[in-house]
Amino acid sequence: MAPLAWIGHQLQLNENPYGPPPSVREALSAALSSANRYPEFLPQRLPRLIAERLGVAPDCIVVGAGATGVIMHIVQEFGSGGSSVVMAVPTFDGYPILTAMAGGRPVTVPLMLDGRQDLDAIAEAVDEQTRLVVLCSPHNPTGTLITPPEFEKFLLRIPPAVTVVLDEAYVDFVAPGERIDVLTLLDEHPNLLVLRTFSKAYGLAALRVGYAVGAPALIERVARWQLPFGMNALAEVAVRACYAAEPEIAERVTVIGEHRRRLTAGLRELGLCVPDSYANFSYLTLPGPDIDRVGTALAGANIHVKHYPTGLRITVGDRVATDAVLHTVRSTVQ
């Protein structure tokens, strides 16, 4: 095979550096021969499969074309007509972009200096115009975590008529003991929607599968916006195969966690500021002029990362990518 060196290290989209396990690839290859057939008119089997896995009723799940697709439907339902959607800044780009597309108004609350979302300021930004508020844990781009007590306290401050999205796109990278017990909270808070994706830990970004879990009444309102025949038929095949390959997926998550620790520690050894990350990326906090300098050096070494006004977000790649990042940053800052 021709060398792919020209592609360089693609560390700007928080993708999984590893392709699907062999059993998932085999399932997908076998499914290709049915590519002449439409998927379900509206997805039934995929939500059932996910619900079974989580131990919830199928009507508690709505799927979409990635978590992005689900977010689109959420903002269409709750963030249109000029109503305000409260979120941190920076956050996952999809939130401000899709809110504006749906005719809503993003109300943004700066992150705290340590990279965490300012839950007090976010709760205070909720007013009569607010119908939706979004938190991410781990947060994108800083990788910081909201603790269970912080989140529970936050929920109690939000009026029941305001929908709260907890985006857990990266939750599989968080140690089980540190996760928020979302299923219990969903029973107590019918205004809560928890968002997950198969794009990150499961490595299925190309296939576009995400879902929300929540109370049936809320899920039904989101599902109203689903496009007929809109879900990729291969998504269900891939999710089913991934669930059957859980040990291999878990092994990849463990390896990515080890590389994240090495990347974070290596950057800190250079005297740089990196918040503790619980996701598959590290955030290098830098003074303004250094962001361009370090970013340009990385781009010169064919390493592509995402730039923010306060730093660089670097996706955790494989060992070679981590070595390349550390080598380039070292030679730039020393």
In the complex, which residues of this chain contact ligand PMP (CB under 6 A)?
A: 14, 66-68, 92, 94, 136, 140, 167, 169, 197, 199, 205, 210
Beta bridge partners of 193: 165, 214
Taking the least distance from each CB to ligand PMP, the nearer of 117 and 322 is 117
The minimum distance between CB 86 and ligand PMP, in angstroms, equals 16
The minimum distance between CB 138 and ligand PMP, in angstroms, equals 8
Taking the least distance from each CB to ligand PMP, the nearer of 67 and 122 is 67
Taking the least distance from each CB to ligand PMP, the nearer of 194 and 291 is 194
Residue that the structure tokens 């929300």 belong to: 212
Residue nearest to ligand PMP as judged by C-beta position:
66
The minimum distance between CB 202 and ligand PMP, in angstroms, equals 10
The minimum distance between CB 170 and ligand PMP, in angstroms, equals 7
Taking the least distance from each CB to ligand PMP, the nearer of 60 and 169 is 169
| Residue 141 preceded by cis peptide, ω within 30 | yes
The minimum distance between CB 197 and ligand PMP, in angstroms, equals 3
Taking the least distance from each CB to ligand PMP, the nearer of 173 and 328 is 173
The minimum distance between CB 141 and ligand PMP, in angstroms, equals 8
Taking the least distance from each CB to ligand PMP, the nearer of 140 and 285 is 140
